[in-house]
Structure 1
């Protein structure tokens, strides 16, 4: 079986670099902004932990926080994709999960970062909104998935980013 490898990861890297430079340099201080932002999500603790893990978050505005959460989602999606890819090399039966996470890390994130960088929150939300469907495809492709915790974390991060974008942008 031929491995399914994303062909557009460089696009994501470019978006991340451009978006990072834009939002982490054009920010303002708001000491309670992370708390206020995370209270509007369904995963408060995950949101706070994710946003506070970025050194620039204390100086970020809401768009910057949305970007930080989106980058965390992308990074976790890529980590899960790599985990699946490594297992595919051994078992050759994880094609559904590999395709799902390729969709998340390439197609969905491309659309989402494009929406965030161009000031189009609806486009960003559309990209992030596909993530739960993709994690569910991966999860349901097993009787007992070895990726349950990864799928849940990626799904929860998507919910955090969607809430931030919906409520604040």
Structure 2
């Protein structure tokens, strides 16, 4: 009988101990989540497009374990995706809107520069620890998107949304790179 009471007491103690450990782990997880959120928040506060920065980074699961350089690389990756989407749209519009051929061809050249020069320069610079070149590449990408948009002058650009996204995200990436100087 005494062994049964001891065994029951031991089981209760073991359960309490396990619950305490699990509760502790959940608390630590919450601390880590807050730390990650604080890094994103403090990083994005140094950019001109805070909300865009935060929403872009929080939508990427890799941001939860990234340092500032990693956050910059995530934004650069999104710029690449948006630039690729813009170039694809340009090719579609070249077939469907022949009246916009000249500005669309100029935009295609701009986005080819972004995809073949500016973005690779930024990625290489961030991964090798030379943020000045990353900042330069991303500032150039922002200028290229702006140049594409302004090339439509009197006619409405069918790329306004993508040009704006590429511009703003490029500025965010350049700002993050600047923080690393």
TM-score, length-scaled by structure 1:
0.78
- Paired residue for 2:68? 62
- Paired residue for 1:96? 106
- Paired residue for 1:150? 162
Which structure 2 residue ranges, 5 or more long, are not aligned?
Answer: 1-31
CA distance in 1, matches of 2:150, 2:65: 40
CA distance in 1, matches of 2:147, 2:172: 20
- Paired residue for 1:130? 140
- Paired residue for 1:121? 131
- Paired residue for 1:5? none
- Paired residue for 2:173? 161
Q: Choose between structure 1 and 2 for higher RCO, CA contacts under 8 A separated by at least 6 residues.
A: 1
- What is the Cα deviation at residue 81 of structure 1? 1.1
Question: Aligned pair count?
Answer: 142
TM-score, length-scaled by structure 2:
0.73
Residues 1:111 and 2:117 are matched in the alignment: no
CA distance in 1, matches of 2:176, 2:135: 10
- What is the Cα deviation at residue 88 of structure 1? 1.6
CA distance in 2, matches of 1:158, 1:132: 5
Which aligned runs of 4 or more in structure 1 are off by greater than 2 angstroms? 28-31, 89-92
Which structure 1 residue ranges, 5 or more long, are not aligned?
Answer: 1-27
CA distance in 1, matches of 2:131, 2:51: 24
Which structure has the highest helix share of the two?
2
CA distance in 2, matches of 1:73, 1:132: 10
